[in-house]
Amino acid sequence: MSGRKIFKAVAIITVFSILTRALGFLFRIFLSRALGAELLGEYQVAMSVFGVLLTFICSGLPLVVSRSVASKRADNDLEGEYKVVGAGLCISLAITIIVMLVILIIPNAITALFSNNISSTMLFLLLPALISSSLYSIFRGAMWGQKRFFAISFTELFEQVLRMILCAILLSVGITSLSLPELAGLSLSLACIGSAILATIIYFAVGGKVKQPKFFIKPLLKTSTPITAVRTISSLVQSFIALIIPIRLMAAGLTQGEALAEFGIATGMTLPLLMVPCTLISSIAVAFVPEISGQTDNIDKQPPRELAKLKTHINLCVNVSIVIAFILFPAFAAIGMPIGEALFHNEKAGYYLMLSAIVMLPICLSQITSSILNSLGLEMKSLINYAIGAILLFLSIFFLPKWIGAVSLIVGLGSLYFVTTILNLVMLHKRNLLSFTYVKNILLLLVVSIPCILFTKWFYQILSHYMSLFISTAITGAVSVGLFVSICAIFNLANFRIILFRKRKVAKATA
């Protein structure tokens, strides 16, 4: 795919991703206000365990299906393409059925994971989402391999809109036997069913087929297992955090309600804000990773021109990710507390945001470098890097709550992503696939951030005397982002104009 087509794909994915994530973020604000900090904590605990199950079922297979479909399509082997999809469906549905049977056979063991009945009941209400997601993920992977980015993005947007509508209806109408978090979980199950139906209709409507997967199940399972293991372990880390943090906070002297509230604030309010830049990073990964994957066969024997193209793609991904990570940094660092109060009516969420704003950089770099390593066939090495960082995370959330409370989660996540990023970058340097220009870019953007933070603080202090909290915060945030972007664009810091505006030049370089 040419550079111009890549950027077109990025544009399509980015527009839909921003819209989907924006709606999701608004839904998060609505949910946090409707549930409150304590119930949001119970909701987050159940969602973290559900996330592990979903990752185990639907993580590695869609990626492998997309690769295989893209390869078969390039060879004009439509018969093989349809068999790959059939194999993916067989494996995904089989794993889902086994997982659901285990949960239904030993419900007491599952319930024992939680410190409250709400989280355990909510998990059982989410089980229909597992089987519908197993179908959706395979059809999504097939359409990804076919480079039908619009269809994929539209389906994700549909799911988000449907979930918001259903949740609003269920919470307003109410079901006496279900709590608010349980109703929110039920709305997710129904939305997943809807998106699975839509994805199935779209796949067959564009000419897709499913054929008997003879001889395709074993190789597909073999290839997807390492990727699934990597992502499942990563998801297990998040689930471990959700189960351990409240326990360690209670050991530090908090009541169960207070511990769940602190966890809900940190993970349900602050963390989603820190993850906002990841929306754009995901768009880059979706568009570029298939291109990188297509250039990784026999890297050592690649002709110079092809190797240069691969390096260009990787360097571009890393440097774009750095710019994206910094755009919101001055605003979050300067007016984090008003942002938390304006969005969630919770000043502590903003306090945590202000403390953790810099963590967006390692989060974004860890995300993009891990995606690059996975596309290079280095999933297990990526897992090892993540596991090393996770050790610091575990130590932080186990020992630090006694002294710094829920801030220990911020320290732990910062340590996790920082160590993972460093190790991932080292691996790319060892393979001579990455230049050191990103180091200079980080330093330049850090220097620019300092005056932007000071200006943002000063500007907010002035506006807050004349306008409401929400309006003064919104205007200040927009001005902060605009100031930072303008400085970077005027002085072309970190090749800002080349990265974000001069598409033709990049397209030519990557054609």
Model pLDDT for residues 94-128, shown as the tens digit of each residue: 999 998 888 888 877 777 777 667 888 888 899 89
**Does a structural domain hold residue 5?**
no
**Collapsed DSSP state (helix, strand, coil) of residue 294:** coil
- Joined together, the tokens standing for residue 190 give 């129904």
Percent share of the chain, pLDDT over 90: 37
Give 112's Cβ-side CA count (13 Å radius).
Answer: 5
**Model pLDDT, residue 192:** 93
DSSP state letter for 268? I
Which residues lie closer than 8 Å to 461 by C-beta, 6 or more apart? none
Query: Which of 141-155, 228-242, 356-370 bottoms out in mean pLDDT, i.e. has the lowest?
Result: 228-242
Q: Is the pLDDT of residue 293 over 60?
A: no
Mean pLDDT confidence for 267-277? 89
State mean pLDDT over 144-166: 89
Q: How many other CB atoms are found less than 10 A from the CB of residue 402?
A: 13
Q: What are phi and psi of 265, to 5 degrees?
A: -65, -50
pLDDT digits (tens, 9 = 90+) for 82-92: 999 999 999 99
Question: Is residue 61 included in any domain, yes or no?
Answer: yes
Q: Is residue 144 part of a domain?
A: yes
pLDDT band at residue 6 under the 50/70/90 scheme? low
* Angle between the N-to-C axes of helices 329-344 and 469-490, in degrees from 0 to 180, rounded to the nearest 10: 160
Instruction: State the pLDDT at residue 115.
Output: 63
**Percentage above 70 pLDDT, the chain:** 89
Confidence of residue 256 (pLDDT cuts 50, 70, 90): confident
pLDDT at 7: 62
More confident residue, 220 or 11: 220
For residue 507, the model assigns a pLDDT of 41
End-to-end CA distance of the chain: 8
pLDDT greater than 50 at residue 195: yes
Average pLDDT for residues 155-170, to the nearest whole number? Answer: 92
Report the C-alpha gap between 195 and 158 in whole angstroms: 7
In a domain, residue 129? The reply is yes
pLDDT at 375 over 80: no
Mean pLDDT of 239-259: 85
- Mean pLDDT within 172-195: 88
Average pLDDT over residues 188-193: 93
Residue 25 has pLDDT above 60, yes or no: yes
The chain-wide mean pLDDT, for the chain, equals 85
Note the pLDDT of residue 383. Answer: 80
pLDDT value, residue 63: 81
Q: Is the pLDDT assigned to residue 502 strictly greater than 50?
A: no
Residue 277 backbone phi and psi in degrees, to 5: -60, -25
Mean pLDDT along residues 479-486? 94
* Spatial separation of the C-alpha atoms in residues 486 and 492, rounded to whole Å: 9
What confidence score (pLDDT) does residue 223 get? 78
* Number of domains observed in the structure of the chain: 1
Give the tens place of pLDDT for each residue, 35-78.
888 888 888 888 888 888 888 888 778 888 987 888 888 788 88
Looking at residue 357, its pLDDT comes to 96
- Round to whole Å and give the CA distance between 259 and 389: 25
The domain in which residue 125 lies consists of 57-252
In a domain, 407, yes or no: no
CA-to-CA distance for 349 and 383, rounded, in angstroms?
31
Cα–Cα distance between 348 and 403 in angstroms, integer? 17
Q: Among the listed ranges 23-37, 297-311, 325-339, 451-465, which one has the minimum average pLDDT value?
A: 297-311
Single-letter residue type at 422 = I
At residue 505, the pLDDT reads 43
Q: Is pLDDT at 509 greater than 50 in this prediction?
A: no
What pLDDT does 506 receive?
41
* Token couple for 347: 């000043």
Q: Between these two residues, 190 and 71, which has the higher pLDDT value?
A: 190
DSSP 59-124: SHHHHHHHHHHHHHHHTT-HHHHHHHHHHHHHHHHHHHHHHHHHHHH-HHHHHTT-SSHHHHHHHH
User: Mean per-residue pLDDT for 447-457?
Assistant: 96
Q: Return the residue matching tokens 């995901």.
A: 282
Greater confidence (304 vs 485) lies with 485
How large is the angle between the packed helices 278-293 and 360-375, nearest 10 degrees? 20
Residue 31 has pLDDT above 60, yes or no: yes
The answer to which of 301-310, 423-432, 475-484 has the lowest mean pLDDT is: 301-310
361: nearest Cα among 435, 315, 414, 409: 414
Kindly report the number of other CB atoms within 10 A of residue 294's CB atom: 15
User: Which of 10, 8, 66, 152 lies closest to 375 in space, CA to CA?
Assistant: 66
Which segment, 63-67, 390-394, 456-460, 499-503, is predicted with the most confidence on average?
456-460
158 near 195, Cβ under 8 Å? yes
199 in any annotated domain: yes
pTM: 0.76
Q: What is the pLDDT of residue 496?
A: 64
Residue 3 lies in a domain: no
Q: In the prediction, which pLDDT does 36 show? A: 85
* Per-residue pLDDT reduced to its tens digit, 421-435: 999 999 999 988 899
